[in-house]
Amino acid sequence: MEMEKLLTQQRAWFRTGATLGSTARKKALEALYQAVKNMEGDIALALERDLGKAPCESYLCETGLVLHEIRYHLAHVKRWMSAGPGPVPWLHFPARSEIRPRPLGVTLIISPWNYPFHLCLMPLIGALSAGCCAVVKPSEYAPATAQVVERVLKRALPREQAAVVQGGREETEKLLEQPFDHIFFTGSQAVGRVVMGAAAKNLTPVTLELGGKSPVILDRTADLKTAARRIAFGKVLNAGQTCVAPDYLLLEQGLQEQFLIHYRAALDDFFPGGNLDQMARMVSRRHFEEKKKLLAGQNAAIGGGWDDGAGKISPAVLVDVDPSSPVMQEEIFAPILPVIPWRTLDEAIAFVRDRPRPLALYLFTRDKGVERRVLGECDFGGGCVNDTVIHLASPGLPFGGVGPSGMGQYHGKYSFDAFSHPQAIVRRGSRPHIPVRDLPYTGGKERLARWMLR
């Protein structure tokens, strides 16, 4: 009942047109910006409580990125929302065509726990700049951040425009029964299937931001020292609990020893004296216990241990890994890097292509031919050449998966598009009326139609 009521309130608000104008959109974005700015300390504290994130990492990956994205939308939303000209085919002459972005309406945003602030707010920014209303459902696994998200939204916006519904599986299932105009889901592939199934009942369109195993391919031309450092950064960021974390490494044969030296040196630099205080912990005891099991029976060339008290898995590199072992079957989501050697590039590419299309792929090489082949032959959501993860932090780039790693994309203009419908309008005067298409059809009209549509 509560959820139905909320949806009815948001729908009524949306119908007043209060969210539509550029001034209203900017006001909403500015209010959100101010609320986030004012509550920066509370946000950092909540992320520390839920995941043990260091304040710098919280700013870098959550609050800072959100503020940056809001500023980007504020700078561009007026242009994005204005109607643009469309081409006019000869057949319709004389006429003018227009493409008018229209907000989708009342939307549902469901978020996971790993970047629990970022992943509630980033889609919401798109919804607001597109002129939509939104119900946000944070993850129950990050309860402190879920509360902060609710407080930020309460401070910034009327409940009719953006509201939080707290809860887990049961509450989300109830929300999914409601006839929203769009569902934006970030989370696992398993729940993505549930969301899409529920959405189908109301024919509600979905954006799915899912996960998967994102490979790194490294060849002998790469700068091993920099590569090891950048892979280690992607792997220990949020303790590997990042949707685009480098999941496993496909390493050209003969490089393992050197790579391990550089990876170990990078970890020594990141965590002086082996102190892991600045690395996040596993989100829950259950997740921690599950990740420990991934190490069983593996040959850890680096790490391989954990800290039971802190709930942290030490950064690890696994060698001699059997591709059929559990660590190579599921998304790892922990600072554990399995290494799989390859002899020919064909082998490395086939390894990626034989598996579900990943959310990200990272290539370390200085060989343009290798780059052309990997980018040309492998399908994946997005990625980097000679780095990891950073493609996610660019508002000018679309972010999203392909196939089982996701459906649709967002960030910057792509977020605006995700929550908008490009409405096509052909505008004509009443005169002249050229009766070419009118009945009765004649041979001459058909010949003309064939010529015009050639």
Tokens of 385: 């050449």
Q: Quick check: 123 binds ligand NAD (CB under 6 A)?
A: no
Q: Quick check: 50 binds ligand NAD (CB under 6 A)?
A: no
Q: Quick check: 113 binds ligand NAD (CB under 6 A)?
A: yes
Among 30, 173, 322, 379, binds ligand NAD (CB under 6 A): 173
Among 101, 123, 131, 187, binds ligand NAD (CB under 6 A): 187
Q: Quick check: 32 binds ligand NAD (CB under 6 A)?
A: no
| Comparison of 131 and 187: residue with beta carbon closer to ligand NAD | 187
Angle at 332 between CA 375 and CA 365, to 5 degrees: 30
| Footprint on residues 351-380 left by ligand NAD (CB under 6 A) | 359
Report d(CA 166, CA 124) in Å as an integer.
Answer: 16
Among 25, 53, 137, 230, binds ligand NAD (CB under 6 A): 137
320: left (phi over 0), alpha (psi -120 to 50) or beta: left
Among 101, 103, 112, 315, binds ligand NAD (CB under 6 A): 112
Binding mask 254-293 for ligand NAD (x = CB under 6 A): ----------------------------------------
Among 9, 22, 34, 188, binds ligand NAD (CB under 6 A): 188
Instruction: Return all residues near 347 (Cβ < 8 A) that are at least 6 apart.
Output: none
Among 68, 57, 70, smallest CA distance to 29 is for 70
- In 143-293, the DSSP E strands lie at 162-164, 182-186, 206-209, 215-218, 248-252
Q: Quick check: 186 binds ligand NAD (CB under 6 A)?
A: yes
Which amino acid is it at 36?
V
Cα–Cα distance list, 216 to 227, 235, 329, 407 (Å): 10, 11, 16, 22
Instruction: Return all residues near 219 (Cβ < 8 A) that are at least 6 apart.
Output: 252, 345, 364, 365, 367, 370
Q: Quick check: 177 binds ligand NAD (CB under 6 A)?
A: no
CA dihedral 150, 153, 154, 158 (to 10 degrees): -140
Q: Quick check: 412 binds ligand NAD (CB under 6 A)?
A: no
Binding mask 303-332 for ligand NAD (x = CB under 6 A): ----------------------------x-
Tokens of 316: 């690890």
Binding mask 383-402 for ligand NAD (x = CB under 6 A): ------------------x-
- CB burial class (10 A; 0-12, 13-18, 19+) of residue 67? middle
Q: Smallest gap, in angstroms, from Cβ of residue 92 to ligand NAD? A: 41
**CA 356: distance to chain centroid?**
17
Q: Quick check: 418 binds ligand NAD (CB under 6 A)?
A: no
| C-beta of residue 420 within 8 angstroms of C-beta of residue 19 | no
Task: Identify which range of 23-31, 81-89, 139-147, 250-258 contacts ligand NAD by CB under 6 A.
Answer: 139-147
Active centre residues (catalytic): 209, 243
Among 84, 168, 323, 422, binds ligand NAD (CB under 6 A): 168
How many residues touch ligand NAD (CB under 6 A)?
Answer: 27
Residue ranges binding ligand NAD (CB under 6 A): 110-114, 119, 137, 139-141, 168-169, 172-173, 186-188, 191, 194, 209-211, 243, 331, 359, 401, 406
